[in-house]
Amino acid sequence: MPTVLRKYGFRFHFYSGDRYEPPHIHVDGNGGEAKVWLTEVRLAEAGGFSQRDLARILAVVEEHRQQMLEAWNDYFA
């Protein structure tokens, strides 16, 4: 389960079994979990996060999208 980034108390990572899904990042922290698509940054699913946390998560993914896509492609190449 490679961790790509830690920011604002959130851990951005993916699972080795995610290979056959479109690129995405999992996020956990502050008692919540989420999955965010990377091709077009949008929330796939989430639970336990406040709206403020979700907005911050999406902003971080947008900011670091290229890094996350590169990590995904390097890992699954």
Residue 28 pLDDT? 98
Domain ranges of the chain: 3-76
pLDDT tier at 70, thresholds 50, 70, 90 = very high
What are 2-57's pLDDT values in tens digits?
999 999 999 999 999 999 999 999 999 999 999 999 999 999 999 999 999 999 99
N- to C-terminal Cα separation, the chain: 16
Residue 1 pLDDT? 80
The H or E element that residue 68 is part of is: helix 51-76
In this structure, what token pair is assigned to residue 38?
């990377």
Interval 56-74 mean pLDDT: 98
pLDDT tier at 77, thresholds 50, 70, 90 = confident
CA-CA distance, 49 to 45, in Å (whole number)? 11
